[in-house]
Amino acid sequence: MARKQTAPASDRIPPPAPPGTRERLLAAAAAEFAARGFAGTRVDRIAAAARVNKAMIYYHFGSKAALYQEILGDMFQAVNANVRRVAAAADPPEEKLAQFVAAIAREAEARPHFPQIWFREIAEGGVHLGEPALGDMAGVVLTLGTILDQGVRSRRFRRTDPLLVHATIVAPLLLFFASAGVRRRLDRAGLSGAGGITRDAVVAHVQRITRSLVEGRV
């Protein structure tokens, strides 16, 4: 949990690009946790994938659980920070909404293991989510709420439930990014074309349904 100091307290300059054992472990661990889940992940596999000695995990993070927490926290914090930036911009609400969708997609791609981990945490009831991560998750919905409010106040949007809009945006996007593996297998199982959907088509699709959802009387 506690972040180890790599430089003496007297040195304010960030560590001069070390081999990055810690970073390599974080990246390898995210991939393993995403593909196999917390329980299914083996510490030895993380170490092997990072080409780092297993003991380093305990040196840097203390435990498998603490390592997982670190990854979870970073991910949800990044998403929250990104959508916050979108909402803070000086754009009309329609544009912010489209940017909100794009931000989720961008974050899912920047951290390719986020969608899977997110799905798993949902299934698990969020038992690994700490107070900060939970706050970040709530923050994303809250931020979407402010965008919707802006639209309602300026009489461009009808009043909608932020949680429903959130689900309409986030669930299909995450499903798309998390399901690359399954879609590839479905392609071979008789659903030709399942592997052929593009990221842009999905983002555009979600942007369209979102817009019609908040604008139309539907």
Using CB under 8 A as the criterion, which residues of the chain lie in contact with a copy of itself when the complex forms?
A: 34-40, 115-117, 119-127, 129, 131, 134-135, 137-138, 141-142, 161, 163-164, 167-168, 170-172, 174-176, 178-182, 185-186, 189-191, 193-194, 197, 201-202, 205, 208-209, 212-213, 216, 218
Return the one option of a copy of itself, DNA, none that residue 58 interacts with (CB less than 5 to 8 A, by type).
DNA
Compute the least distance from the CB of residue 11 to a copy of itself, in Å: 37
What is the rounded distance in angstroms from the CA atom of residue 166 to the CA atom of residue 179?
19
Give whichever of 8 and 196 is closer to a copy of itself, judged by the CB atom: 196
Q: How far is the CB of 20 from a copy of itself (least distance, A)?
A: 27
Range 136-152 burial, b when 16+ CB lie within 10 A, else e: bbebbbbbbbbbbebbe
* 163 contact, one of a copy of itself, DNA, none, CB 5-8 Å limit per kind: a copy of itself
Closer to DNA by CB, 41 or 80: give it. Answer: 41
Residue 112 CA to its chain's centroid (Å): 8
Buried residues in 60-69 as b, exposed as e (16+ CB within 10 A): bbeebeebbb
Which of 178, 172, 167, 209 has the alpha carbon at shortest distance from 113?
178
- Residue 120's binding partner among DNA, a copy of itself, none (Cβ under 5 to 8 angstroms by kind) is a copy of itself
Among DNA, a copy of itself, none, residue 126 binds (CB under 5-8 Å by kind): a copy of itself
Q: Which residue number, 58 or 88, has a Cβ lying nearer to DNA?
A: 58
Query: Residue 89 binds which one of a copy of itself, DNA, none, with CB within 5 to 8 A depending on kind?
Result: none
Q: Which is nearer to DNA, 54 or 211 (CB)?
A: 54
Residues interacting with DNA, by CB under 7 A?
4, 6, 15, 18-19, 21-22, 41-44, 52-56, 58-59, 62-65
CB of 12 to a copy of itself, least distance (A): 34
- Closer to a copy of itself at the Cβ: 55 or 167? 167
